[in-house]
Amino acid sequence: MYTHLFLSGSLIFCALFPALPAAADPRMDTELSTAMGLAPDLAAGKAAYEKLCAECHGRDGWGSTGGEYPQIAGQHRSVIIKQLADIRAGNRDNPKMFPIVEESQIGGPQAISDIAAYVSTLPMDSFPAAGDGDNLPRAREIYEQMCARCHGANGEGDPDLHYPLIQGQHYAYLLRQLRWIRDGQRRNANPQMVATIHQLEESELQMLADYVSRLEPPAEKLSDR
């Protein structure tokens, strides 16, 4: 099912899980650096994930094909930490997750480190939901010109720079994030990404999300279902 892919010269998809918030927040910076430096406890991460995250993202971390929840299985630990810290610091709006990531619920930087590490070990869905397959050659051109510099030729991302792995992400989720960035609803989007997305037509956002949803993860990251 793949040319197949969870968000760039002028870097569109870095905005899905951007490397820098729109406005730096000291609390986020502190929690991010602290959590990144801690040795994770996978057993604790699994327990916390199953208690707090599985209801929406699924026990397998595959999210929903309709795009309400992203696939997070296999995502870089650094990216998960970054997003949890951003939501907690108010740099990214996510009303459903905000109560969960409060320290009274999820815990401190150690818990963030644990959960992120556990999520990164989960096998990815072999069959995420793609789009209709139209205009993929043009979409590939857009991706290679605007996205591959950060996210890699195959959407593998860069954990050292907090650039997310976007392989295996559901089409509807990718498209919604692109629209939210365009419309100012993704507040932690890098302004450069916002400017780039504004250059694209709605039809181009759709074909780009479709192309990314078809980038194939390496076999070792996939579920054998």
Q: Is residue 73 part of a domain?
A: yes
| Domain limits for position 30 | 26-121
Per-residue pLDDT at 109 exceeds 90: yes
Give the pLDDT mean for 190-216. Answer: 89
Same domain, 144 and 216: yes
Q: 29 or 212, which is more confident? A: 212
Average pLDDT, the chain: 86
- Residue 32 — pLDDT band, cuts 50, 70, 90? confident
- The CATH number for 175's domain is 1.10.760.10
Same domain, 134 and 114: no
Same domain, 113 and 151: no
Same domain, 134 and 216: yes
Same domain, 136 and 174: yes
Same domain, 146 and 207: yes
Same domain, 61 and 91: yes
The pLDDT of residue 25: 57
Q: Is residue 1 part of a domain?
A: no
> How far apart (Å, rounded) are the C-alpha atoms in residues 33 and 40?
14
Among 121, 136, 156, which residue terminates a domain?
A: 121
Per-residue pLDDT at 6 exceeds 70: no
Among 84, 106, 121, which residue terminates a domain?
A: 121
Contacts 24+ apart (CB under 8 A), 189-195: 189/15, 189/18, 189/22, 190/11, 190/14, 190/15, 190/18, 190/19, 190/20, 190/22, 191/22, 192/10, 192/11, 193/8, 193/10, 193/11, 193/12, 193/14, 193/15, 193/18, 194/15, 195/10
pTM of the model as a whole: 0.86
> How far apart (Å, rounded) are the C-alpha atoms in residues 73 and 205?
24
Same domain, 112 and 131: no
